[in-house]
Each structure stands twice: as structure tokens, then as C-alpha cells.
């Protein structure tokens, strides 16, 4: 039986998530794993937007901020269950993406990068300054999701780290599955067609602006859910989640792994999440190395690490 | 009245800095279609290198000159090492390269200069000048004069010299410029040198007022970028006017609305321009041939 690339990616992901804990020397690695999954989820959204629809966003952390603070604020102020707050954050992000994207995506060129940059910084500014609501730069506690206690009552006793590792892992698998389905759907094909040539896509009757807008809204929801998961597992969140550097990190992860592929996105997220953990010894050099990695990858592995390697393997096999 | 004037004066001062940064953006954008997010780091380097040379004992004018030249050299190195090898890459890649370069420069600056806040004395003292009940620092006049002088210099360069026209020709049509014998790689080098030098000059002029540290670059880049967008990307006149307008808007926001949200002005401007006036104030409507 030949596996389609879609099922191959999903199967590899499931196996990886299920088996990796066997090799964990300590509980700390569950936490690192969960962080990788959270980042990979947001980066999967970037793949849909940048890899398939060909648009850049430099403000996606703003949506992550909305998702995160929805989980921090809605349960406390309106008595909404944290799980519903995740959906609320996703809905707010989607509406905002639609409002910002609709006028911008009618324009040709890279205006979305600029508009999203402004939007993201405004969001992080509000989170920093509205101290009465968000408590400002010091951050705010996030209520417990409560699912771990439910599982414990059902007889499944997981440590906090284990629970978030598997929970985020499952959400990532779902997110990747949805993205890969989207890729093979009519919308996904249309998106990739317009990435190839906008003019050609328009000539055959595609509503190019609407397709790009759909991609932007979907990717905003991915970022929002990723922000929510980060807030819920840390039980604490600061406005840094919405900062410009976080937006840049997301794009860098996507581009590093290979912006056209979901597998690449997950690889990129893994590398750039692990890098600072490894570099804590050289904390001083973290920015230096991050910047250097970004430049070198863009020059020497333009399509990203995973597609470049795949091409090498296929090329030598022929 | 004097209150309004005061807000306007402080707005014009920061506006002059934004105008310089926006001019730097414009030069590189015109020569290469690259939006150089490392532009703000040139401002930071201008201030920082001056501080270093000055504390090492160099007289201030010499320290400032050294900073501008060193930063210009760095701009050239960035073009040679990071931009030129990626020629022909999609815009996403080029944007990421310049962001990567800016993070790299910031990281290096943190190692070399440390995390402290630095400054050096103003050029003509710190006694404020009174105008109609408002005050302005002599250094602010230096900043404003500096940005106007750079603009006039650039205008003369682009309209009156052969080399300047070669740069304009390259920005219009790279291939055609190459065909008539213009050395386009040299034009790129020159553009990065000028852009970095102008950024550094902005840093030298403004540091006595705002002080500097290794991480000030990002804010300057974003504001200068907003100014360039407002004026119309790629248009030097637009960059100048956009810079001053943005500065004044920020000054008024800080004065009348909220000093916390003064930085928001720039980004609300970006969104408003894109919604209602995507070509900016002075931009031409672009048409594409298929």
C-alpha cells in the first residue's frame, strides 16, 4: 500500500508524539514537547496563509494574544468556562482578521504584512496599557482548564506535564489534519493556484480577494487557539505573547522548516523552540544565533529545511 | 496656544528623526524593492558608536563622523553578505533576511555595548530656547536642520548628478539600466551605504535628547516605516512629509489624548492609510503589465 503524503505526514506525527516520551530523561521534556506543539499549531496557520495563499503576516502574535487573554479574562469577568473562552478568543480573532483583511487583501502586493504589523502592535499595546483589565506588563493568572481533574476521576491519572503534552499533541494532530484536508480541497487548490499566479487565477474566475481573506481568517484562528493553549498550560500570561518578536518567531519557524509544508512547519517549530532551551547556557548569544539562523536559512535553503532535504533524497534516488 | 505650540515643537523634533529613517527606507526600497527592517538598527549604531568613540576620548564631531562612516560600511557589508546572495528570492525571504539581520545586529550590539542606557552631550548646550511661550532644545534644531539638509542633499544628488540619475534609472527598471551600462551592483552598494549612513546620522542627532541603548532600533524602524507608508513608499518627498506628519500626530496624541498611546498613532496611521489611501499621500497609482 502506498501512503499519500497526507496520511504519511499525519502517521509520522502520531507516531512521533506517542513514542517520544519513551526517550524523555525527565518530566521537564513533557513541558518542552507541549511548547513545541503549541508553536507548531500557530505555525501550521502560517503555512496556510504564507505557504499556500502567499501572504505574509507580521502580526499573528496579536491573535495569539487575543486567544490567551480570552482564557485569562472571560472566565473571571463573565463566568465563561475556560474551554468556551478558547472558542470565544478564536471567534474574536476570526472577526478581527476579517475586518482587517477585507479592505487590505483587495490590494495587490505585500500590504497585509504592513497592516498586520500595525494591528499586532496595537493589540500588544492595549494589553500592556489597560492595566485595570489585563494588569499590564506584569501578566495575569489564567484559570485552570479542569480537564485533568475530569480525566483523573475517570481513572486516567496524568501529571500536569504529561496531560499538556498529550492534550496539545492531540490538538496539533487535529490542526494538521484539518490543514491537510484544506490543502486537498477545492479551496486549497484555488489558494495554491493563486500563489502560483494571481493573474491566472483571476482569469479563470477565482475570487482572489475572498480566497486570501479565508486563508487569513483561518490562520488567525490557529494562532488564537495556540495562544489559548499556551495561557492555559502556563496558568499565567504576559503581553509578550502578542509582541512583535513573537510574530517574527512564528514566521521564522514556518520559513525555517519549509513554509509550503505542514511537516516543515512542525519541524521549524521544534527547532526554534528547542534552540533557546539549548542556548540558555549562552543566553547572551541567543539573539545573535537566532538572527544568523534566519539569514543563513533564507540564503542557502530557500524552500526551508524539510523540502530541501526531501528534494535531495528524491533527487539522489532517481 | 503655547501648549499647542509646545506639542507641535516636540512632534516636529521626533518627526525629523522619523523622516530620516523613512528616507533611508526609501533609498533601499527604490534600489532593490527590499523593505529593510534593519533600518532602525542603523539609528541605534549611529548613537552607540558615537558614545563609544566619545568616551574613548575622541572629540564629538570626529566621533559622530566615525559612527556614520562605520555604520555605512556595515550597511554595505549587510548588502554583500545577506541581500546580494539572496537576489531573486521571493519577497517573504528578503523580509525575513532583513529581520534576521536586525536581530543579529541587536544581539551583537548587546554583547559589545552592554545593556545600559547611554548618551553624550548635546552639540550646543542644554539651555532651552523660548518661542512664544513654548520651549525647544538647541539639539532639536540640530535634528530638524539635519533632516532637511539630508533631504536637500538627496534631491540634488538624484536630480543633478550622473550617479544619482543612475540610481533613479536602476530603481525604475533594473534590466534596462544594466543594458545602458549602469553598474547596478554598485548602485545597490551605494544605496545601502547612503541609507545606513543617513540612519546613523539620525541616531547621532537624536541621542542627546532621547538617549540610546542596544534595543532602540526596532521602534525607530517601525515608526520610520509607518512614515514612509504614509508618504507613499518609494517617494523621498513623501518620506520627509510623512515623517514630520507622523511626528506631529504623535506629539498631539501624547499631549491631548494619552502619552501611553502616543506610539499607537503610528500604527493607526498605517491601518488608516492602507484602508483609505493605499498609495500614500504622494505615491503614484501602480499599474501592472501582465
Please state the domain count of chain A: 1
- Summarize the confidence of residues A232-258 as an average pLDDT: 87
Q: Where on the phi/psi map is residue B125: left (φ > 0), alpha (ψ -120 to 50), or beta?
A: left
What SS3 state is found at B135? strand
- Summarize the confidence of residues B206-229 as an average pLDDT: 88
Least confident residue range of A88-92, A305-309, B209-213, B233-237: A305-309
A307 inside domain:
no
pLDDT tens-digit map of A60-81: 999 999 999 998 888 888 888 8
pLDDT tens-digit map of B156-179: 998 899 998 998 888 888 888 889
DSSP state of B212: B
The residue segments making up the domain with residue B179 are 2-276
**Cβ separation of A119 and B267 shorter than 8 Å?**
yes
DSSP state of B136: E
- Summarize the confidence of residues B257-284 as an average pLDDT: 79
Residue with cell 547621532: B204
How large a percentage of chain B has pLDDT more than 70?
A: 97
**Cβ separation of A103 and B93 shorter than 8 Å?**
no
Q: Grid coordinates in use for A65?
A: 494574544
Using an 8 Å CB-CB cutoff, list chain A residues near B85. 299
B283 inside domain:
no
pLDDT tens-digit map of B131-153: 888 888 889 999 999 999 999 99
Q: A237 CA to chain B: closest CA distance, Å? A: 21
pLDDT of residue B246: 92
pLDDT of residue A300: 85
At residue B38, φ and ψ (nearest 5 deg) are -85, 0
Highest mean pLDDT: which range of A22-26, A144-148, A249-253: A249-253
Q: CA-CA distances (angstroms) from residue B59 to B50, B55, B64, B188?
A: 10, 9, 9, 32
A287 inside domain:
no
> Quick one: which H or E segment has residue B277?
none
Q: A107 CA to chain B: closest CA distance, Å? A: 8
pLDDT tens-digit map of A86-135: 899 999 999 999 998 888 887 766 678 878 888 898 898 888 888 888 88
Which residue of B224, B270, B273 to mutate against A (max A Cβ within 10 Å)? B270
**Cβ separation of B275 and A299 shorter than 8 Å?**
no
Strand partners, A236: A141
Alpha-carbon distance of B213 to B194, in angstroms, equals 23
- Summarize the confidence of residues A138-166 as an average pLDDT: 80
B285 inside domain:
no
B76 inside domain:
yes
Residue B123, domain CATH: 1.10.3470
Q: What is the pLDDT confidence band of residue A25, given thresholds at 50, 70 and 90?
A: confident
A290 inside domain:
no
What value does the mean pLDDT of chain B take? 88
Residue A264, domain CATH: 1.10.3470
**Cβ separation of B107 and A289 shorter than 8 Å?**
yes
**Cβ separation of A125 and B107 shorter than 8 Å?**
no
A288 inside domain:
no
B181 inside domain:
yes
Contacting residues for A202 by C-beta, under 8 A, at least 6 apart: A194, A208
pLDDT tens-digit map of B33-48: 888 889 999 999 999 9
Is the pLDDT reported for residue B286 higher than 70? Answer: no
A279 inside domain:
no
Please state the domain count of chain B: 1
Alpha-carbon distance of A255 to A248, in angstroms, equals 10
8 Å CB contact between A217 and A231: no
What SS3 state is found at A141? strand
pLDDT of residue A39: 92
Q: What is the pLDDT confidence band of residue B262, given thresholds at 50, 70 and 90?
A: confident
Is the pLDDT reported for residue B289 higher than 50? Answer: no
pLDDT of residue A108: 67
A70 inside domain:
yes
- Summarize the confidence of residues B62-81 as an average pLDDT: 95
Minimum Cα–Cα distance from A103: chain B residue: B275
B286 inside domain:
no
pLDDT of residue B243: 93
**Cβ separation of A291 and B106 shorter than 8 Å?**
yes
Q: What is the pLDDT confidence band of residue A207, given thresholds at 50, 70 and 90?
A: confident
**Cβ separation of A291 and B89 shorter than 8 Å?**
no
The residue segments making up the domain with residue A46 are 5-19+26-270
ipTM: 0.84
Q: CA-CA distances (angstroms) from residue A273 to A39, A280, B52, B250?
A: 8, 12, 35, 37
Alpha-carbon distance of A109 to A291, in angstroms, equals 26
pLDDT of residue B88: 78
Is the pLDDT reported for residue B234 higher than 90? Answer: no
DSSP E strand stretches across chain B: 129-131, 134-136
Q: Which of B266, B219, B259 is nearest to B37 (CA)?
A: B219
Using an 8 Å CB-CB cutoff, list chain B residues near A251. 92, 96
Q: Which of B221, B241, B235 is nearest to B147 (CA)?
A: B241
**Cβ separation of B99 and A122 shorter than 8 Å?**
no
8 Å CB contact between A226 and A39: yes
A158 inside domain:
yes
Least confident residue range of A73-87, A112-126, A143-157, A159-173: A143-157
A253 inside domain:
yes
Angle in degrees, 0-180, between the axes of helices B91-113 and A244-257, rounded to the nearest 10: 120
B282 inside domain:
no
pLDDT of residue A318: 37
- Summarize the confidence of residues A26-42 as an average pLDDT: 88
Q: Grid coordinates in use for B267?
A: 500604527
Q: Residues of chain A whose C-beta is under 8 A from some C-beta in B?
A: 50, 56, 58, 100, 103-104, 107-108, 110-111, 113-115, 117-119, 121-122, 125, 129, 199, 244, 248, 251-252, 255, 259, 284-295, 298-299, 302
pLDDT tens-digit map of A259-276: 888 888 888 899 888 887
pLDDT of residue B81: 92
Alpha-carbon distance of A292 to B218, in angstroms, equals 17
Amino acid at each position: 500500500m502506498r501512503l499519500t503524503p497526507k496520511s504519511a505526514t499525519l502517521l509520522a506525527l502520531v507516531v512521533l508524539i506517542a513514542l517520544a516520551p519513551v526517550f524523555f530523561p525527565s518530566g521537564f521534556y513533557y513541558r518542552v514537547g507541549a511548547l513545541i506543539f503549541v508553536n507548531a499549531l500557530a505555525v501550521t496557520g502560517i503555512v496556510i496563509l504564507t505557504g499556500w495563499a502567499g501572504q505574509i503576516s507580521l502580526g499573528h502574535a496579536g491573535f495569539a494574544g487575543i486567544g490567551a487573554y480570552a482564557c485569562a479574562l472571560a472566565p473571571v469577568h463573565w463566568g465563561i468556562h475556560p474551554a468556551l473562552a478558547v472558542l470565544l478568543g478564536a471567534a474574536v480573532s476570526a472577526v478581527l482578521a476579517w475586518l482587517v483583511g477585507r479592505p487590505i487583501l483587495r490590494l495587490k502586493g505585500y500590504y497585509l504584512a504592513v497592516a498586520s504589523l500595525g494591528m499586532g502592535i496595537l493589540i500588544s499595546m492595549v494589553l500592556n496599557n489597560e492595566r485595570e483589565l489585563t494588569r499590564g506588563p506584569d501578566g495575569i493568572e489564567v484559570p485552570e482548564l479542569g480537564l485533568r481533574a475530569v480525566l483523573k476521576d475517570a481513572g486516567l491519572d496524568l501529571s500536569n506535564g504529561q496531560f499538556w503534552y498529550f492534550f496539545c499533541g492531540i490538538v496539533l494532530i487535529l490542526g494538521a489534519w484539518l490543514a491537510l484536508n484544506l490543502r486537498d480541497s477545492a479551496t486549497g487548490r484555488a489558494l495554491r493556484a493563486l500563489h502560483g499566479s494571481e493573474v491566472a487565477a483571476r482569469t479563470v474566475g477565482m475570487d482572489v480577494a475572498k480566497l486570501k481573506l479565508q486563508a487569513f481568517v483561518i490562520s488567525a484562528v490557529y494562532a488564537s487557539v495556540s495562544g489559548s493553549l499556551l495561557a492555559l498550560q502556563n496558568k499565567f500570561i504576559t503581553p509578550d505573547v502578542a509582541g512583535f518578536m513573537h510574530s517574527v518567531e512564528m514566521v521564522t519557524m514556518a520559513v525555517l522548516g519549509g513554509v509550503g509544508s505542514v511537516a516543515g512547519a512542525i519541524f521549524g517549530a521544534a527547532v526554534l523552540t528547542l534552540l533557546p532551551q539549548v542556548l540558555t547556557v549562552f543566553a547572551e548569544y541567543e539573539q545573535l544565533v537566532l538572527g544568523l539562523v534566519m539569514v543563513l536559512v533564507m540564503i542557502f535553503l530557500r524552500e526551508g529545511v524539510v523540502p530541501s532535504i526531501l528534494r535531495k533524497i528524491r533527487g539522489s534516488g532517481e | 496656544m503655547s501648549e499647542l505650540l509646545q506639542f507641535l515643537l516636540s512632534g516636529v523634533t521626533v518627526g525629523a528623526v522619523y523622516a530620516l529613517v523613512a528616507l533611508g527606507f526609501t533609498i533601499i526600497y527604490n534600489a532593490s524593492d527590499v523593505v529593510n527592517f534593519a533600518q532602525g538598527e542603523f539609528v541605534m549604531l549611529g548613537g552607540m558608536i558615537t558614545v563609544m568613540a566619545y568616551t574613548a576620548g575622541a572629540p564629538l564631531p570626529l566621533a559622530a563622523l566615525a559612527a556614520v562612516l562605520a555604520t555605512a560600511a556595515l550597511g554595505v557589508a549587510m548588502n554583500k553578505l545577506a541581500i546580494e546572495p539572496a537576489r531573486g528570492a521571493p519577497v517573504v525571504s528578503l523580509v525575513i533576511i532583513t529581520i534576521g539581520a536586525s536581530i543579529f545586529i541587536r544581539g551583537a550590539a548587546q554583547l559589545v555595548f552592554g545593556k545600559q542606557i547611554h548618551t553624550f552631550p548635546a552639540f550646543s548646550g542644554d539651555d532651552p530656547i523660548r518661542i512664544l511661550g513654548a520651549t525647544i532644545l538647541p539639539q532639536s534644531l540640530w535634528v530638524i536642520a539635519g533632516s532637511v539638509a539630508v533631504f536637500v542633499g538627496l534631491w540634488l544628488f538624484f536630480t543633478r548628478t550622473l550617479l544619482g540619475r543612475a540610481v533613479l534609472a536602476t530603481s525604475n527598471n533594473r534590466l534596462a539600466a544594466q543594458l545602458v551600462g549602469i553598474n547596478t551592483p554598485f548602485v545597490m552598494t551605494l544605496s545601502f551605504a547612503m541609507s545606513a549612513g543617513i540612519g546613523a546620522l539620525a541616531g547621532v542627532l537624536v541621542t542627546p535628547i532621547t538617549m540610546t541603548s542596544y534595543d532602540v532600533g526596532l521602534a525607530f524602524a517601525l515608526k520610520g516605516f509607518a512614515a514612509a507608508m504614509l508618504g507613499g513608499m518609494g517617494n523621498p518627498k513623501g518620506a520627509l512629509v510623512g515623517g514630520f506628519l507622523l511626528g506631529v500626530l504623535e506629539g498631539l496624541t501624547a499631549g491631548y489624548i494619552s502619552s501611553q498611546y502616543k506610539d499607537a498613532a503610528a500604527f493607526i496611521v498605517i491601518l488608516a492609510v492602507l484602508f483609505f489611501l493605499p498609495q500614500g499621500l504622494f505615491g503614484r497609482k501602480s499599474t501592472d503589465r501582465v
